[in-house]
Amino acid sequence: MSSTPQPSGTAPRFDVPETDAFTLPYWEAAAEGRLLIRRCRAVECARPHHFPREFCPYCWSEDVEWEEASGRATLYTWSVVHRNDLPPFGERLPYVAAVVDLAEGPRMMTEVVDCPEARLEIGMRLRARFRSYGEPAVSVPVFRPY
């Protein structure tokens, strides 16, 4: 992976993903508000997966392709983070670190936004939205109730 250069005298960013030639389609789609997953094209497998890999994690086929996901998900589990000293996460406290099941099947780590802690429940329906930040700007998928 390539690293994102840091301006002199600034702390490293831990919240901005590094991009490379392989993941570039994923990040370009995210900038357009679209969530991509990968799907195995091997007839005997054909399973979707996330995070993006150059091979299928189930059958090891290298015949995989990008596919646009619906953006729908259900909440599998979560944890409300009340303390995180890494910049810039401290500015977002508290936040909801979560694992969601995408409608297409893959499970994904993310953040739930725009939802009071008391309303969170396993199985709640969520929809992807995208948060842009960093320099250069990168859009990352987060989820909110719908």
Q: Provide the token pair at 144.
A: 């909110």
Cα separation of 38 and 49, whole Å?
A: 5
Q: Between 4 and 142, name the one with better pLDDT.
A: 142
Overall average pLDDT of the 36-57 stretch: 96
Q: What is the pTM of this model?
A: 0.86
Q: In what order do the strands lie in the sheet with 64-68?
A: 48-49, 36-40, 64-68
Give the model confidence (pLDDT) of 65-88 as tens digits: 999 999 999 999 999 999 998 877
